[in-house]
Structure 1
Amino acid sequence: MRVDRTAHAVVCAGAVVVAMAGGPAHAAGPEASIWTIGLGPHTHNAAGLAILIGLTVFSTILSLLHMRERTRWSHREAELADELAHLRGAHDRAEMLLNSERQVLVTWTGRGPGLVEGDAGFAVDGRRPASDDPERLLQFEAWLQPSDARDLAAAVEGLRARGTGFRLNLRTQDGRFVEAQGQALTGRALLRLRETTEERRELIDLRLTLDEARRGLSALGSLLDAIPQPLWRRNRDGALAWVNTAYVAAVEAENREAALGLELLDRQARDLVARADETRGAAGGATLRLSAVVAGGLRILDVTESEVEAGRVGIAVDVSELESVRADLQRQMDANVRTLDQLPTAVAMFDARQRLIFHNAAYRQLWDLDQPFLEGRPLDGEILDRLRAARKLPEQADFKSWKADILAAYRAVEAREAWWYLPDGRSLRVVADPNPQGGLTYLFDDVSENMKLESRYNALMRVQAETLDTLKEPVAVFGADGRLTFANRAFATLWRLDAETLSERPRVDTVIEACRDLSPNEEPWLDIRGAITGLESRAGLTCRLEVVDGTVLDCAAQPLPEGATLLTLIDVTASVNVERALTDKNDALERTAQLRDTFVNHVSYELRSPLTNIIGFTQLLGDETVGALNERQREYSGHIMRSSGALLVMINDILDLASIDAGSLELSREVVDVRATVEAAVRGLEDRLAEAAIDLDLDLPEDIGSFVADGKRVRQILFNLLSNAVGFSSPGQTVRVEVRRSASELTLAVIDRGPGMPEEVAARVFDRFESNTLGTRHRGVGLGLSIVRSFVELHGGRVELESAPGAGTRVTCTFPIATTNARRAAAE
C-alpha cells in the first residue's frame, strides 16, 4: 500500500514537470499536451525537451525511493535477527533452568489436552513418559497419596475453569515430597511439579509442625474467646499483649488491636491487684472483689492476676448477679421476718446456747414481755422463770422437773408437741422443733377458738343426725373403713336391723348379709359393696333392689368427703308397676308386627308358585299356540298378564325385604354401565309412559362411564323410582332422570312434577306398607321406596327425598364409587 502511494506521487510529480515545460497545454491534461506536440516544429521541440526533463526527474525520484526502501528493509532484517538471537538465548536459559532440577511443566490451552515438558521420572515409575502419552502423568491417583491426588485434581480443575492459582505440598505413594504450583498465564493454565530437596523436606516438616502449633494456638484462642469472662495477658513491662473477645466487648473497643490500648481496671485497682499478688507469692494469684465499668455499666468483678514466665495473666469474673442474689436473699429474709411478724402464731427461735435470737410480734403479745428484755437475748430458762413468776404458765406441782422436760427438746431429734392449759382459760398447742444447726424453734398456737368451734360442730352433727333419723326414706352412711357410721330409723326398720347391731358399727359385709335375707338378688349388693369400699375410683352408683314382699327400691350410693359414702333408698314400686304394664303392651305390639311379617312372607312364598303358572299359561294364550284368540280375548289376556306381572313384582319385593331382614341377601357386584342400566330400566316402563301420556327426560353426561355395583338391584331401584314418579304424575307432565358423577360418588335422581307431599307424609314414605295417595290415582302396597332404601344402603349409599305440596318430588340415590382395585376385582 505504501509503494502504490509513492508511485502515484512520482507520476503526479512527472506530470507537473511536463505541464510546466509545455506551457499553456497543461490546462487540458496529458492528452492535450500530446496533441499539441504534433502541430508544428516549434511546438515539437519545446514539448520534447519538456518530456525529456520530466523523464529525467521521474527516474531520479524512483532511484531515490528504491534506495530508501532497501535501507529500511536492511535495518528491519538486522532487528529481527537480533530479536531471534535473544529469543533463542531465552529459550536456552529456560531449558537450562527447567532441566536444572527434576520438575515437570504441564500447559493447557483452552479445554484441549495438556502439553507435558520436563523430567517426569520421579512421578511415573522412574521412567520418562513418551511424548505421545502426555496423559499418563496426569493420572494423579496412580502415583500420589489418595487424599493428595484428590486435592491436586480439584485444584487443577479450578485453575483450568476459573484461573485460580494454587501451591500444594504433595506426598507420593513411596513417601517422597512433590511441590505443585498452578497459575494462569496469557490465556494458558500452567502446572509445575517439582520434587523437593532434603532441605526443602525439612522445611516442609517444620512448616507442618508450625502449622499444627498455629492451629493449636488458634484453637486455644478460640476457646479463650468463647469464655464469657474477660481474659488478658501482660508482657514483662505490664502492658497488655493479648485480650479475648469478652475483654474487647467489656472495654467497648472496635477490635482486639484497639482493645490492647484500653484498660478494664483503673490505676488504683491494678495496683491493688499487683500488691495482692505479691502478698500471695508462690501460692498463686489473689482474688479481689472490685467494681469496674463493663460495657457501659457498673459491675462487680472478682479479679485474679497471676505471674507467668512471659509476664502476667488475669481474669475478671462478673459476680454482680451473685451479689444481687445475696442481696435478694437478705431482702427475702427481711420479708420473712416481716411475714412472721404478721402471723397470729407466736414464733420464738433459740440458738444452740439456748439464747433467744428471734421472736415475732405475736410472741410478745402472747406473753406480754418487755421489748428490752427480749432484745437482750435471754436464755430459754430465764423466760420460763419470768412467765412462771407472772402466773402465765400451766400450774405444775414440780415446776423444776417440768422445766427440765421442756428444755430437753434441745437434745431431741424430732419435733415435740404439747398442750398447755393456761390459768386464764386459754389453750395453747406448743411445738418445739429442733434446728439442724442446733437450737430450737417454738410455735405457740392459741387453739381456744378451735376447741369452741369443735364443740359447736359436734352439736350441729347431733342436730343433723336427728333430722336424718326422722326421714321416711332409708338413709345410711358408711365411713372410709367400710363401717356403718349412721343409719336412720327407716333404714333399720326396712332391713330389720336391731339397735344392738347398729351400735357395734358393723362392716358393710355384715350389713349386706343381713339385707340379703329380704332382697336375695346378689348382683346389686356386689355393686353397692364396690361403691362403698372401692379405693381406685369413687363414683356415684344407682341400682334397683327388689324386696321379697314386692317392694321395689331405687338405691343411690354417693361418695362423701374423707372417704365416706351416703346410701339412700327410694320406694318406686308404683312407677315400676306402670312401667311393667307399658313394657308388656309394647312386647305384644312387637309380637303382632312379627306375626304380620311372618304371615306376609309365608303368603308371598305360597302365592309365587301359582302366580308363575298363571303368567306362563297367559303367555301361551297370548302367543296363540293353543288356538287363535279374538280381539276381546287378546285384550283380556293382556290385562291378566299386566296384573300378574304387577303382583309378581310386589311378591318379589316382599321376598327381597324378607331376605334383607334375615341378612341373607348378598349383592352380586360387577362393573355396571350407567347409561345401559338407565336405558334398561326405562324400557320396562315404556308401555306405562305411553299409556299415561308422560314424557321422560334423561339427563346423562356422555362420559358418565361405569361403577362397581349389583346391576340387577340398580335396575330395580330405578324401576321402582320411575314407577313411583309415573304414578304420581299427570298426563302431559315430564319425569326427569338425572345422573351425576364425582370423584367418590355417583348420584341417580328421579324428579316428577306431581302434587308433592307435606313434610309429615314425606317422613313416612320409606316405611313399609306406607303409601301416599293424596290427590293421585296411584295405588300400591307401599314397598317401592322401602325396597329402594334397603338396596341403596346395602351398597353403602344413602337416599334423600325432597318434596313439598305442589312442587313435585325429587328422590336422590347416592352410591359410593369403588376404588380401582375393587373395580378390577369385580371385572375379573
Structure 2
Amino acid sequence: EQPEWRRWKESLLGAYRAVESQEHWWHLPDGKTIRVVANPQPKGGVTWVFENLTEKMDLESRYQTAVRVQGETLDNLAEGVAVFGPDGRLRLSNPAFAALWGLDADAAKPNVHVSTIRDLCDRGAADSPWGGFVAAITGFDDERRDRHGQTELNNGTVLRYAMIPLPNGQVMMTFVDVTDSVNVERALKDKNEALEKSDQLKNEFVQHVSYELRSPLTNIIGFTELLSLPSTGPLNQKQREYVEHVSSSSSVLLTIVNDILDLATVDAGIMELDISEVHVDRTIAAAAELVSDRLEEHAIRLKIDAATAPKTFHGDEIRIRQILYNLLSNAANYAPEASTITLACRSFAEGVEFSVHDDGPGMPPDLLDSVFRRFEPRTNGGRRRGAGLGLSIVKSFVELHGGNVRIETGKDMGTTVICAFPDAPSGIRAAAE
C-alpha cells in the first residue's frame, strides 16, 4: 500500500538501469516485513532477493520493550539494586542504590570497579560491610551462596542487604531501607525492658511492704484477742462490738497480705511445696470449716460430692486447702441467697480433680481472659469487692503442682472452676515415691 504508486514503481524499475545494488523494505498489509535487495547483473537483468524478517523484527521489538520495561522498573524501585560482573565491575544499578549510599551519579556508572565504590561507601558507615562484598564479588569460592545482613550508616539509616549469585559469575546486591521498622523494634524492646523493670520494682515493693505490714498486723490481732479475754478486764457491749470489728478486719487484711506474699514468693521462684499424702476428706472438711460462717450468713448450703474421689494423693496439703478455701470464698461471694454450692472431687486417669460450682450470674466472655489477673476484682453480681487475688492464688498454686485450671461458665449456667492435679507434682514424682 503505497501513497504514491507511480513514484514507487519507477523506483523499483530503476534497478534495471542502476549500477549499484538497491535495498527496499516492504511492510505488507498482513503484518509481514520483507527485505528486498535488487542486484544488477553485469550482462543485464536484475537478481531480486526477498528475505522475510518478520520474526526477527518482532523479536527485536519485544526485546527492546522488555529492556525498557526492565529499566523503568529498576529505576523506580525503592529497593537499591546493583549487579557486578565477574571482573568486579558494575554492570547496572538503579538510582535508589546511589541514593541509599549517598553516591554521586558518576560514581555509580557502569564499568566502575567495586573497590572504587567500596572506598566511597566506607565513609558512610562506621562498621562497613563492603570489605566482605568485595571479597564475595571478586573471590573464587567453590560454593557461591546467598548472603544476608544488616548495617547501619552514620546518618542513622539502617539497610538490610542481600547478595545473590547470578549466572556467568555475576552478583546481584539489593539494599532495603528498614530504618522505621528497626526504630519501632528498638522502641518496643526499650518499652518491654522498662515494663520488666517496672514489674520487678512492683514485686519488690509489694513484697517489702507486705513484710512490713504483717508484723504490725500480727500485733494488732494479738492485742485484740487480749482485749476480748475476760482476764484483761470487762468490756461493755459497744466496746466488745468494736473489738470484734477490729479483729475481723485485721484477719481479712492479714489474709490479703499473706496472699500477696505467697504470690511474690511464687514469682521469685523460691516457693517450695511440702509434698506429702493429702487426705481428700480431711482437706475438704478443713476448707469447708473456714468458710462456714460466710455460708451461714447468707443461708447458703454446701454440698460435697466426693463419692468417686481417691482417699489420698501427693501434694502440699496446706496449699490445696488454701486453693479450696479461695474457690469456696469466691463461690460464696456470687452464689444467690439460700442457694447451694457444690464442691466435688473425682479421680481421673492422670490424677485428681476438684471442682466448685455456684448458681451465680456467670462470667461474661470478655472477663474470662482477665479472670486470673491480679488486683482485678470483679463485681458482676458479687456481694463484696475483694483484692482480686483469689483466683490468681488458685492458678499459681495449681500450676506449681503441675496441674491446670479451667472455668466453665455462661449466662444462667452459673460458674464452675475446675482444678486438675496430677497424682504427684511434676518434677518431684521420684522423690514422692
| Structure 1 residues 301-450: aligned runs within 5 Å | none
Partner residue of 1:695? 301
Q: Partner amino acid for 1:605?
A: Y
Does residue 1:754 correspond to 2:360, yes or no? yes
Query: What fraction of aligned residue pairs are identical, expressed as a percent?
Result: 44
**Alignment partners' CA distance in 2, 1:465 and 1:500:** 22
Question: 1:668: Cα distance to partner?
Answer: 1.8
Residues 693/488 of structure 1: CA separation in 2 closer, same or farther (3 Å cut): same
| Structure 1 residues 477-626: aligned runs within 5 Å | 477-478=83-84, 484-497=90-103, 499=106, 503-504=110-111, 506-507=113-114, 511=117, 514-521=120-127, 538=145, 541=148, 543-557=149-163, 565-573=171-179, 592-626=198-232
Q: What is the CA deviation profile of residues 277-314 of structure 1, one whole-angstrom value per residue up to 9, with x for unaligned ones? A: xxxxxxxxxxxxxxxxxxxxxxxxxxxxxxxxxxxxxx
Give 1:470's match in structure 2, choosing from 58, 64, 75: 75
| Structure 1 residues 91-490: aligned runs within 5 Å | 463=68, 466-467=71-72, 470-471=75-76, 473=78, 474-478=80-84, 484-490=90-96
- Give the SS at the match of 1:701: coil
Q: Partner amino acid for 1:470?
A: D
Does residue 1:787 correspond to 2:393, yes or no? yes
Partner residue of 1:713? 319
**Alignment partners' CA distance in 2, 1:742 and 1:523:** 61
Q: Partner amino acid for 1:736?
A: T
Q: Partner amino acid for 2:290?
A: G
Root-mean-square deviation over aligned CA pairs? 4.1
Does residue 1:737 correspond to 2:343, yes or no? yes
2:88–2:137 contact (8 Å) kept in structure 1: no
1:717–1:788 contact (8 Å) kept in structure 2: yes
Residues 480/791 of structure 1: CA separation in 2 closer, same or farther (3 Å cut): farther
Residues 630/826 of structure 1: CA separation in 2 closer, same or farther (3 Å cut): farther
Partner residue of 1:765? 371
2:407–2:416 contact (8 Å) kept in structure 1: yes
**Alignment partners' CA distance in 2, 1:749 and 1:633:** 42
Question: 1:754: Cα distance to partner?
Answer: 1.0
**Alignment partners' CA distance in 2, 1:701 and 1:823:** 26
Question: 1:621: Cα distance to partner?
Answer: 2.1
**Alignment partners' CA distance in 1, 2:408 and 2:124:** 60
Question: 1:676: Cα distance to partner?
Answer: 1.4
**Alignment partners' CA distance in 2, 1:527 and 1:622:** 86
Give 2:240's match in structure 1, choosing from 634, 637, 640: 634
- Give the SS at the match of 2:254: helix
- Give the SS at the match of 2:274: coil
**Alignment partners' CA distance in 2, 1:512 and 1:777:** 74
Residues 547/823 of structure 1: CA separation in 2 closer, same or farther (3 Å cut): closer
**Alignment partners' CA distance in 2, 1:578 and 1:718:** 46
1:725–1:752 contact (8 Å) kept in structure 2: yes
2:352–2:420 contact (8 Å) kept in structure 1: yes
Question: 1:600: Cα distance to partner?
Answer: 2.7
Q: Partner amino acid for 1:710?
A: D
Give 2:274's match in structure 1, choosing from 655, 658, 668: 668
**Alignment partners' CA distance in 1, 2:241 and 2:130:** 74
Residues 425/648 of structure 1: CA separation in 2 closer, same or farther (3 Å cut): farther
Question: 1:573: Cα distance to partner?
Answer: 4.5
Question: 1:451: Cα distance to partner?
Answer: 10
Q: What is the CA deviation profile of residues 173-202 of structure 1, one whole-angstrom value per residue up to 9, with x for unaligned ones? A: xxxxxxxxxxxxxxxxxxxxxxxxxxxxxx
Give 1:655's match in structure 2, choosing from 250, 254, 261: 261
**Alignment partners' CA distance in 1, 2:221 and 2:265:** 24
**Alignment partners' CA distance in 2, 1:527 and 1:707:** 66
1:540–1:559 contact (8 Å) kept in structure 2: no
Residues 527/719 of structure 1: CA separation in 2 closer, same or farther (3 Å cut): farther
Q: Partner amino acid for 1:672?
A: V
Unaligned runs of 5+ in 1: 1-423, 427-447
Partner residue of 2:412? 806
Residues 481/660 of structure 1: CA separation in 2 closer, same or farther (3 Å cut): farther
**Alignment partners' CA distance in 1, 2:100 and 2:130:** 17
Q: Partner amino acid for 1:800?
A: R
- Give the SS at the match of 2:373: coil
Residues 523/792 of structure 1: CA separation in 2 closer, same or farther (3 Å cut): farther
Larger Rg: 1
Partner residue of 1:268? none
Question: 1:680: Cα distance to partner?
Answer: 1.5
Q: What is the CA deviation profile of residues 213-241 of structure 1, one whole-angstrom value per residue up to 9, with x for unaligned ones? A: xxxxxxxxxxxxxxxxxxxxxxxxxxxxx
Question: 1:805: Cα distance to partner?
Answer: 2.9
1:524–1:545 contact (8 Å) kept in structure 2: no
1:798–1:815 contact (8 Å) kept in structure 2: yes
Question: 1:737: Cα distance to partner?
Answer: 0.6
Question: 1:800: Cα distance to partner?
Answer: 0.2
1:479–1:563 contact (8 Å) kept in structure 2: yes
Question: 1:454: Cα distance to partner?
Answer: 9.7
Q: Partner amino acid for 1:787?
A: I
**Alignment partners' CA distance in 2, 1:572 and 1:535:** 32
Question: 1:613: Cα distance to partner?
Answer: 0.8
Q: Which moved more, 1:698-707 or 1:657-666?
A: 698-707
Question: 1:553: Cα distance to partner?
Answer: 3.5
Question: 1:634: Cα distance to partner?
Answer: 3.2
Partner residue of 1:645? 251
Count the aligned residue pairs: 380
**Alignment partners' CA distance in 1, 2:195 and 2:302:** 43
1:797–1:814 contact (8 Å) kept in structure 2: yes
Q: Which is richer in helix?
A: 1
Residues 720/632 of structure 1: CA separation in 2 closer, same or farther (3 Å cut): same
Residues 725/554 of structure 1: CA separation in 2 closer, same or farther (3 Å cut): same
Question: 1:607: Cα distance to partner?
Answer: 0.6
**Alignment partners' CA distance in 2, 1:718 and 1:690:** 18
Q: Partner amino acid for 1:795?
A: H
**Alignment partners' CA distance in 2, 1:517 and 1:492:** 14
Question: 1:776: Cα distance to partner?
Answer: 2.2
Question: 1:482: Cα distance to partner?
Answer: 7.1
Q: Partner amino acid for 2:206?
A: V
**Alignment partners' CA distance in 2, 1:750 and 1:526:** 66
- Give the SS at the match of 1:707: strand
Question: 1:487: Cα distance to partner?
Answer: 2.0
- Give the SS at the match of 2:220: helix
Question: 1:630: Cα distance to partner?
Answer: 3.7
1:468–1:475 contact (8 Å) kept in structure 2: no
- Give the SS at the match of 1:603: helix
1:532–1:565 contact (8 Å) kept in structure 2: no
Partner residue of 2:292? 686
